């Protein structure tokens, strides 16, 4: 009986941890990508002839930023399916 309760508590803690990991893991990339896109739009508005370079640089920066969100997804999946 006590083993069932203990395993249920561990499972609940793992699921709660997965939710927290995804919550905090999505805030940073979301804010960073929005900021980068906004600054790229400002840069394109100032110098439209450089739009290709600015867009390419912005997309590379957003891909690097999104990798942290993907890492948090991996951690959340490990927490969900490991216990």
| Sign of CA pseudo-dihedral 15, 21, 24, 26 | negative
CA dist., res. 82 & res. 77, Å (int): 8
Q: Which residues contact 10 (CB under 8 A, 6 or more apart)?
A: 83
Does position 2 have pLDDT exceeding 80, yes or no? Answer: no
Domain total in the chain: 1
Instruction: For tokens 């941890």, name the residue.
Output: 17
- Residue 1: predicted pLDDT: 64
Across the chain, what does the average pLDDT equal?
A: 90
In a domain, 30, yes or no: yes
Tens digits of per-residue pLDDT, 22-57?
999 899 899 989 999 999 999 999 999 999 999 999
Q: For the chain, what percent of residues have pLDDT higher than 90?
A: 67
- Residue 3 is assigned to a structural domain of this protein: no
pTM of the predicted model over 0.85: no
User: Does any domain span residue 21?
Assistant: yes
Domain span at residue 18? 11-82
Q: What is the pLDDT of residue 42?
A: 95
* Domain harbouring 22, CATH code: 1.20.20.10
- Residue 66 maps to a domain: yes
* C-alpha–C-alpha distance, residues 15 and 41, integer Å: 39
Q: Is residue 68 part of a domain?
A: yes
């Amino acid at each position: 009986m006590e083993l069932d309760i203990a395993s249920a508590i561990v499972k609940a803690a793992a699921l709660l941890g997965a939710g927290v990991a995804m919550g905090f893991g999505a805030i940073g990339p979301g804010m960073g990508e929005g900021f980068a896109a906004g600054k790229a739009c400002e840069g394109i508005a100032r110098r439209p002839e450089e739009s290709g370079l600015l867009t390419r640089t912005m997309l590379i920066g957003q891909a690097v930023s999104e990798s942290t969100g993907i890492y948090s997804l991996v951690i959340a999946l490990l927490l969900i399916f490991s216990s």
